Structure 1
Amino acid sequence: MERMESLIIKNHCKERWYPTDFKIYYDCFKNSLLKDIDKPLRKNIKYTLQYLEFIDVQIEEIYLKGTLEKNVYKTYIINACSIIEASLIYIVDKFGEWDNDRKTFNNAIKKVQDQNLLNLDSKLIDQLDSLRKLRNNVHLDKYDKNDLHKWYWHEFDKEDYPSMKSILESFLTEIGFSQQ
């Protein structure tokens, strides 16, 4: 039985699919740069990682088209970026300096790069910045006032999902977030 089918109530499955257990994610924090992160933020990251697993199941096992498909990709990108953003801001707080700059995703990317806080190659930095800009399309009131026929949900493509997934995995590996 597929993972998604096991979640359907009327299927009365004895064994249901569940995302990775919190204890496993807890162990991932132990040797990472995030090991001393505040408990509420640690929990938020773990909840979001579990939610990303559920979105993976949707993408892999449900036939989606049109706005449903675009919004599932959008949801994945927004949540994956939020993990990276929170992690980068924490890393700058802990190991770097903000120099009176606002704590934003964009500034965190720049600070980590400028202060050599992580060993992120320029390609990954460029990809993060590109996905950050894409993530900013979360705002529903953001559209081209000169072209009222263009909405930003069109910006989220099937190719963005594996790219974001790969970038998140690379980032988590770089900060030492992995099962030992």
Structure 2
Amino acid sequence: MQNTENLRPFGTLEKDNDICYKGRWHPTAVPCFESILKEGLLSDMPKSLRKNIAYSLQYMQYLELQLDELNLHNVIITMIYKNYIITGTSIIEGIFCYLLKSSDLWKQKLWELDSVIKSNEYKQNSMKYKLETFIYKKIDPVDDEMNFDSMIKKMESKNILSLNHKAYPYIKKLKRLRNKVHLQINEHEDDTDWFNFNYIDYLWMRYVLHKVLTDDAFKNKSGKYIDFIKCNHEEIEQLNNDIKRE
């Protein structure tokens, strides 16, 4: 058995230390994370979604390890915040999607485009026009597309969770940050990851995700597994100060 007594968790992952698999740092096991997604309104969550959320939580645990143990370049810290927010927001989106569908609140499609009738081009008052008539046919209800913004609005209006309504604007903000996964979507030359992702956003991600995962509707009895995302008293104070600045 290799001696890891003098190694911090991240040190056990360094190849030069040649620590065997069992001796290395490991994230919380997938079944443990899955256990918090099997109660209450989440009891019938598809296995694939439950596992993907568990994998994402493991990845977030690893990102936390990097922030806790490494002296990183500021840009790298910013990019860890970005990946943390992208991953955490995706977890919330997956949960919201499941809850809306399982509660029969998902948007339904009742009409399907059958054909388009186009007119010839014509001129009127020196302007050119044309007409297009869209013909739809009635179909049996099927799930329509809902973007994350629509999901957030529906979740809030239907009070599916016991989340305070004040939490939803921050979920919307995190959703906007998540969209920064598209590197080419920028409104101005300083609209970059460096300016968009900050420590306070990282704290909001942890706070909101913990609130969602421990919601009363899930009857969660294994909250200890996600203590790593729970904000401490000092961090809560920073969030309160952020609210006051708005």
- Shared fold per TM-score greater than 0.5: yes
Tell me the amino acid that sits aligned with residue 10 of structure 1. D
Aligned to 2:67: 59
Q: Is the 8 A contact 2:78 2:193 kept in 1?
A: no
The aligned amino acid for 2:16 is K
1:30 alignment partner in structure 2: 38
The answer for the alignment partner of 1:139 in structure 2 is 182
- Conserved 8 A contact 1:73-1:156: yes
Q: Displaced runs of 4+ in structure 1, greater than 3 A?
A: none
Superposed displacement of residue 67, structure 1: 2.2
Q: CA RMSD in A?
A: 1.8
The one-letter code matched in structure 1 to 2:86 is: I
CA distance in 1, matches of 2:58, 2:166: 27
Structure 2 counterpart of 1:6, which letter?
Answer: T
Larger % of strand: which? Answer: 2
Q: What's the counterpart of residue 154 of structure 2?
A: 111
Written as runs of structure 1 = structure 2, the 5 A alignment for 1:140-179 is 140-144=183-187, 147-174=188-215, 175-176=217-218, 177-179=220-222
- Match of 2:12? 6
Gaps of at least 5 residues in structure 1 are none
CA-CA distance at 1:3 after TM superposition: 1.5
Alignment of 1:51-130 (within 5 A): 51-100=59-108, 102-130=145-173
Q: Give, in angstroms, the shift of residue 152 of structure 1.
A: 3.8
Using the TM superposition, give the Cα deviation of residue 87 of structure 1 relative to its aligned residue in structure 2, in angstroms. 0.3
1:149 Cα shift?
A: 4.5
8 Å contact kept, 1:3–1:17: yes
Give the whole-Å Cα distance in 2 for the aligned partners of 1:136 and 1:153: 15
Please report the TM-score for the alignment, with normalisation by the length of structure 1: 0.90
| 1:95, distance to aligned residue in structure 2 (A) | 1.1
Question: If each structure's helix is expressed as a fraction of its own residues, which one has the higher value?
Answer: 1
The whole-number CA distance in structure 2 between the counterparts of 1:68 and 1:167 is 23
Query: What is the CA–CA distance in structure 2 between the aligned matches of 1:73 and 1:178, rounded to whole Å?
Result: 28
Q: Tell me the SS of whatever aligns to 2:62.
A: helix
Considering Cα pairs closer than 8 Å and 6+ residues apart, tell me whether 1 or 2 has the greater RCO: 1
Distance 1:32 1:76, change over 3 A: farther
8 Å CA contact 2:13–2:25 kept in 1: the answer is yes
Q: Rate the CA distance shift 1:178–1:20 in 2: closer, same or farther, 3 A.
A: farther
Q: How many aligned residue pairs are there?
A: 178
C-alpha distance in structure 2 between counterparts of 1:25 and 1:151, whole Å = 33
- Which stretch has the larger CA shift, 87-96 or 12-21? 12-21
Per the normalisation by structure 2, the TM-score is: 0.67
Percent identical across equivalent pairs?
33
Q: Which amino acid aligns with 2:185?
A: K
Q: CA deviation at 1:98?
A: 2.6
Corresponding position of 1:18: 26
Q: Distance in 1 between matches of 2:93 and 2:196?
A: 20
How far off its partner does 1:78 sit? 0.1
Contact 2:92-2:209 within 8 A present in 1 as well = yes
